[in-house]
Amino acid sequence: MNKYVIMTDASCDLPQRIVDEYNLDYLPMEVNFGEEAYLQFLDERKLKLIDFYARLDKGELAKTSLIASQLFVEKFTPYLKKGIDIFYTGISSALSATWMQVNFAREQLLEQFPERKIVLVDSKSASIAVGLIVVEALKLQKNGATIEEVAKHVENLVPHVNAVFVPVNLETLRRGGRISAVKAILGDTLGVKPILKLDDEGKIVQVGKARGFKKALLEIIEITAKNVKPAYKGPLYIVHANNEEQATLLAKLFKDRNGAGETLISPLGPVISAHTGTGAVCLVFIGDKR
């Protein structure tokens, strides 16, 4: 079996301890405040999350950039030169043109290294949903799976990875074009929170709403309960944009209702929280379908 490396991008929002445990390599992603550009690394070496959240709360608008194909070429080339194949999955093709860029890089590199394998799988996910997929792939690799076996498993897993979230600040979603101005104004005025999820194509869609954040969390539990096997023992990953108390509550509500195996609660990184705003909480699990 030829050696291979599993890679992703920084939008996966995995904690540094998992990066260290699996020696995970990834590409950072760029976040901008006006003309100020920062690279998001999972260890926060260039941009501290607490500072990023504070700037969002002050009303500053953060924007994100795709990963250019040349950056993939630069990241992949040293491995290929050593005879190491590459498996990559990252942010959904429906949410970022990064997917198009990595495909451009693959085409270019396979001309230079025709004997190597560069396997790409669209996660159709974002944030810790990508992280869950990456961890499942890393576990398989650790147990001796080939790159083809990992790719097949991930392809089969993607349609079952559920990501359901609720924002606090609807104005950030409005400015990002995720909801209309009317919905944002009414939602912030009346306290109505939209419940959003990633659909089968990896796009963000609304699946419910509730008045008040606590009721929104309870509604998430009702929505997800329809798609969870009895006595669920799979992974439960939750991310939050500076809202750990509510993230912990959501984890408890889910586990009390459905059970859960490995549980992870982690901060939501800049790439995604730039679009959700602070306060957002997202729940990720493996369901019967999306």
Residues of the chain below pLDDT 50: 178, 180-182, 184-187, 189
What b/e readout covers 103-133, taking b as 16+ CB neighbours within 10 angstroms?
bebbebbeeebeebbbbbbbbbbbbbbbbbb
For the entire predicted model, the pTM comes to 0.94
Fold for the domain defined by 4-157: Rossmann fold (3.40.50)
Extended strands (E) in 15-167: 25-27, 29-33, 36-40, 62-64, 85-88, 118-120, 161-166
* pLDDT at residue number 106: 98
Domain boundaries, the chain: 4-157, 160-286
Region 160-286: CATH code: 3.30.1180.10
Tens-digit pLDDT profile for residues 62-75? 999 999 999 999 99
d(CA 155, CA 202): 13
pLDDT, position 180: 47
pLDDT of residue 176: 55
